[in-house]
Chain A
Amino acid sequence: MTHTPLGIEGSYPLLYLIWLLPLAGAVILWTFGPQLRSLGGPVGAALVGTAFVAALVSWNDATQISDKLGGAHAPMVSWLPGFAFGLLFDRLALVWTLIITGVGFLIHVYSIGYMSGDRAFARFFAFLNFFVFAMLTLVLSDNFVGLLIGWGLVGLASYFLIGFWFERPSAVAAARKAFVINVLGDVGILFAVIVIVTKVGSIGYGDVFGNAAQAFTSGELFVVCLALFVGCAAKSAQVPLHTWLPDAMEGPTPVSALIHAATMVTAGVYLIARCAPLWTASAEARELVGVIGALTAIAGAVLGIAQWDIKRILAYSTMSQIGYMIMAVGVGAFSAGVLHFLTHAFFKAELFLGAGIIIHNLADEQDVRRMGGLRKQMPFAFIAMLVGVLAICGIPGFSGYFSKDAILYGTLQHGHPILYAVGVITAGITAYYMFRLLFVTFFGQFRGNVDASDLGIRHPDSGTPGQAARLAHEAEEREHHGSGHAHAPAWIMSAPVAVLIPFSIGIGWLAIGGENSPWQTFFAPVFPAAPATADVAPIPELLSGVIVLVVVAAGIALAYLRYGTKAALGASVARLRAETMKMPPVLVNRYYFDAAIDALFVKPAAAAGRFFGSFVDPVVIDGGVREVAHSATWLGHLFRSFQTGLVRGYALYLVFGVACFVVYYAVIGAGK
């Protein structure tokens, strides 16, 4: 094995700051949350904001290039030859870090308003900070083990945040489901890492990519890519491991915006882009990933038609858009995929935060059938959502247009006309259901006071018992808040959305100029030129754009005819009722995927899940740690509490220590 350097080595103190500030925030907020009270939010936001500024200041470190090496590489610990741990801050990591900390900062600020009054206000920000730390670990690691650690921590943070409102049984169930499926993905990555270590003898990206050609046969390479992709599919909600994402909307809306739209779910895109050399070398893996991505894109879009819950509509659209990204990086159009990640992070965060404003002001109402006419009551939310919808539909001038166009044309360039066709159709469906959302929510009459049965809402559309409980809980909450009376959002919630609006429009302009656009030049040193099977696309880019536009316009027109005309708006109650009644069962039941997943994975994992729930939830609920935190010397108390006086407990500590030792020595023994 030859050692391949990754970036320009050196000491980058700011890099550690970027990485560790959110961790410090998590520790501080967790420990002193009760003392900080309402200060917890600003403290958490300030730390993430500082990390963002530090990332901006480090821009030149990440973009520096010398001798074919790009970016900053800060080695930390070298354990054995090939097992070195460090941070890598190159252009790819820079994009992700800026989004994680930048959009993360905005969502922290937004959460100060959204979560105000919550009993566990500081704890929420502790989790949020912890998530940012985990995500940064994932993208800044310079090796596969660090990536795996970040991957796992991100899943854990997501578990805590989805189940943040643990008094809702449905939230706990959703959290558990997400965790189980994500662990499945972690196992995939773990398997890939094991194969890589045994074959290459190193965990560093540089070593692995540099030696991949010699170390792997093409079959082995495919297996590695496949195993890695299982992880990507689980984390990025790709078919058939997508079912946790809609359920994850049980978490607070800022969580949905940050984790389940902007950052965590795109980790799969990051991993494939990071491992571009592996994918470039394996045509079969590219084929598979491209097909799965396209399948997810269209499946998510079709399911988006059948949803009534505003967050679920957005969740399915997220799934569909990530399908696009995965398809792009799968076929080899890496920079197009990353561009869509960037634009999507802005417009999807904006959509979610806009939806959050609506939900917040309607006292936790999420069913679009009980909205309507909100354009006048919440003009700001309307403008925000409108920009987001235009961006996601790919209207020219808005950011989504450029990234989606780049992806679709990229599939053509790399010789996948069928994937192109699927992508174009998906764009049409996307336009349809997003405008449906817009019309039903913001136009016509407010239906919040219409009786539920008149709208055809017999019981929750998915029919899970958890949701019935949630609806009951929400009814109770409404009682508590008074009527579903809408009022203007506080500035703390609108300001972040306002910041996102210009980005949702303009960030895509980076891609203007084709091959010489700022975006392409930025990523030119990062991604290997993919072996394009058909360098010249069968149709010119302009024609492709026109085709897409026509399909999108058709989708919008259909949505307008069904929901936006005067007649449709006037009789909206009856129409929605009729539509609810005759919704195709295959869509209502989401292709029966949940039932299948339930039988295949969730039921067998139920025992483990129950164990996890009974073990972790009480800890979260009781917050035993929080109580000791009241004392300045709580650590001393903590260690005292370990000293139970029970000799068998001591024996167990002893054996725990022995187990740690044995694992360590077994590893170094095997290494010799």
Chain B
Amino acid sequence: MSPPIPYVNSADLHALLPTTVIAAAGLLALVVDLFMSAGRARRWIAVAIAAAGLVIAGVLTAQQYGHSYPAFGGAYMQGGFAVVLGEIAIFATLVSLGLGIGIGRDDQVAGTTAIVLWSTCGALLMAGAGNLMMIFLGLELLSLGLYCLCAMSVRSAARESGLKYLLLSSMASGFLLYGMALLFGGTGSVALAAISAAPPSPLIALGAGLFLVGIAFKLSLVPFHSWTPDVYEGAPLSVTAYMSVVTKAGALGVLGRFAYAALPPATANAILLPVWTVAAISMIVGNLAALQQIDMKRLLAYSGIGQVGYIVAAFAGQTPLGLRYAIFYLAAYTFMNLGAFAVVALMLKDADGSLGVGAFAGLAYRRPWLAAAMTFFLLSLAGLPPTAGFTGKILILASSVGAGYWWLSVLLIAGTAISVYVYFKIVRAMFVRVDEAHVRAERSTNPLPWISIAVCAAAVFVLGIYPLAPSDIIPLAK
């Protein structure tokens, strides 16, 4: 029997302050929108309110750095790595909203912006969740918003992606929830920490298995990935960019806490082995499947499957440094991936459109800066120096080799080798001279993605040449 939950005090509320601010910003955007007349200003106002809320939340989150506190009787763990994951999610939200100045038509933007903000709240709750109920709440809050956002377009492909995501994600939630029920049955408590204290039982093993299925689905690890390419391709660009990072940040927080804090050391390896296995499969399958893609969003979806495989591989053996390296690589992935998405956004007239790989042909001669930025981000995704992707991968390799997971390291290198081929197809296309009449060259009128590109490129470079300082600020496990 778990200890009774004490009355809520101000420290508890303070722990949730960033989340509350983001949720309130969403409400405010909706309310202000009621008094707006039609026009482009509506978009800017809604996005500006959201941006203000996100920046404040970012600052508030940063203040929690180093202040660990189990809020609400351990339901929400303030501080620790949740701070870093929270900042990543907030940054990704900001960039995503900027890719197309909000999502949808002018009269929809306030609503979609509010949904985006509330989904981010879900991700923040997941990153800090200390018990099963909080995990479920955060995960559903994130997912429910994403179902709507995916379908938020007049294109039938977007609606299809929304329906697919809804059905598959709900099903995965069902598995996750049943796993939680079994974990509860095995431990008698909803707290994650109770799992390590409880005697091992079949209920806990099965429950952990189903629980990990749900998390692997959110991380889109093979074979739970099949929704990813379709949903990424169908959803509006901003939503795809958002999903590719924010969902991962939340789910990684849950997996990290589960792997490091919830499992007894004796059985942790046996319980987590399938996770490393699916991560290894993801590295290979994701990159192989990316080889054949011609739609840019789809290509990034598959390559993202491989990238998440690398991140999860860092957990192998639950070394204390592994969690730090995983989060470091997630940060690197956030910057390089969002940078690439920003480049794609700048090449589209309509932020709701899609972009074929062919559009990159000869880009280096038409828009040299854009091509240079894209090359840099692709170098990082492929894991070549001097980028964050390179250092991140080296750190993960060091961690998995140190933990004795040689096979995982070998597969990581194999996956990287394949991915080099994937990304260099685009790089090569950019530097080939083509007749401009054959290329469907579009331009976005929105300048905001340039800001994202600048920030992301700088971050990728700094993390690439000076990785130790930032990785030191990421709290060690436990």
Note whether A and B contact each other (Cβ less than 8 A): yes
Which single member of A657, A660, A669 contacts B205 (CB below 8 Å)? Answer: A669
In the complex, whether B94 has a CB less than 8 A from a CB of chain A is no
Residues of B within 8 Å of A662, CB to CB, are 206, 209-210
Residues of A within 8 Å of B210, CB to CB, are 658, 661-662, 665
- A672 near B205 with CB under 8 A, answer yes
- A635 near B202 with CB under 8 A, answer no
- A661 near B213 with CB under 8 A, answer yes
A650 to B171, CA, bound (A): 11
With contact pairs A636-B289, A643-B229, A665-B209 given, residues A650 and B175 touching in the complex (Cβ less than 8 Å) = no
Residues of B within 8 Å of A653, CB to CB, are 223-224, 226
Shortest Cβ distance from A672 into B: residue: B200
Q: What's the minimum C-beta distance from B190 to chain A, rounded to whole angstroms?
A: 20
What sequence of 0s and 1s flags, for each residue 641-672 of chain A, a beta carbon within 8 Å of any chain B beta carbon?
A: 01101010111011011101110111011101
Interface centre among A643, A650, A669 (most CB of B within 10 A): A669
Q: What's the minimum C-beta distance from B418 to chain A, rounded to whole angstroms?
A: 9
Which single member of B164, B202, B209, B270 contacts A661 (CB below 8 Å)? Answer: B209
In the complex, whether B330 has a CB less than 8 A from a CB of chain A is no
In the complex, whether B217 has a CB less than 8 A from a CB of chain A is yes
- A650 near B168 with CB under 8 A, answer yes
Residues of A within 8 Å of B445, CB to CB, are none
- A654 near B205 with CB under 8 A, answer no
Q: What's the minimum C-beta distance from A663 to chain B, rounded to whole angstroms?
A: 9
In the complex, whether B292 has a CB less than 8 A from a CB of chain A is yes
Residues of B within 8 Å of A651, CB to CB, are 167-168, 171
In the complex, whether A615 has a CB less than 8 A from a CB of chain B is no
Which single member of B202, B212, B226, B288 contacts A643 (CB below 8 Å)? Answer: B226
- B224 near A657 with CB under 8 A, answer yes
Shortest Cβ distance from B203 into A: residue: A669
What sequence of 0s and 1s flags, for each residue 405-441 of chain B, a beta carbon within 8 Å of any chain A beta carbon?
A: 0000000000000000000000000000000000000
In the complex, whether B230 has a CB less than 8 A from a CB of chain A is yes
Shortest Cβ distance from B422 into A: residue: A636
A670 to B200, CA, bound (A): 10
Residues of A within 8 Å of B274, CB to CB, are 660-661, 664-665
With contact pairs A651-B168, A672-B267 given, residues A658 and B289 touching in the complex (Cβ less than 8 Å) = no
A669 to B288, CA, bound (A): 34
- B206 near A643 with CB under 8 A, answer no
Q: What's the minimum C-beta distance from A498 to chain B, rounded to whole angstroms?
A: 45
Residues of A within 8 Å of B285, CB to CB, are 639
In the complex, whether B316 has a CB less than 8 A from a CB of chain A is no
Shortest Cβ distance from B166 into A: residue: A647
A645 to B234, CA, bound (A): 11
In the complex, whether B15 has a CB less than 8 A from a CB of chain A is no
Residues of B within 8 Å of A449, CB to CB, are none
- B205 near A658 with CB under 8 A, answer no
Residues of B within 8 Å of A666, CB to CB, are 202, 205-206
In the complex, whether A80 has a CB less than 8 A from a CB of chain B is yes
In the complex, whether A464 has a CB less than 8 A from a CB of chain B is no
A661 to B201, CA, bound (A): 16
Residues of A within 8 Å of B164, CB to CB, are 647, 650
Shortest Cβ distance from B172 into A: residue: A654
A161-183 contacts to B, CB under 8 A, are none
In the complex, whether B163 has a CB less than 8 A from a CB of chain A is yes
Residues of A within 8 Å of B213, CB to CB, are 657-658, 661
Residues of A within 8 Å of B223, CB to CB, are 653-654, 656-657, 660
Q: What's the minimum C-beta distance from A83 to chain B, rounded to whole angstroms?
A: 11
In the complex, whether A637 has a CB less than 8 A from a CB of chain B is yes
Which single member of A80, A636, A649, A670 contacts B292 (CB below 8 Å)? Answer: A636
In the complex, whether A640 has a CB less than 8 A from a CB of chain B is yes
In the complex, whether A633 has a CB less than 8 A from a CB of chain B is yes
- B292 near A637 with CB under 8 A, answer yes
A273-325 contacts to B, CB under 8 A, are none
A639 to B291, CA, bound (A): 10
Which single member of B226, B271, B290 contacts A654 (CB below 8 Å)? Answer: B226
A-B contact pairs, 5 of them (CB 8 A): A636-B291, A650-B230, A653-B224, A660-B274, A662-B210
Question: B: which residues have CB within 8 A of A?
Answer: 163-164, 167-168, 171-172, 175, 200-206, 208-210, 212-213, 216-217, 223-224, 226-227, 229-230, 267, 270-271, 273-274, 278, 285, 288-292
User: Top 8 A-B pairs ranked by shortest CB distance?
Assistant: A669-B205, A665-B209, A669-B202, A636-B291, A650-B226, A639-B289, A636-B292, A657-B223
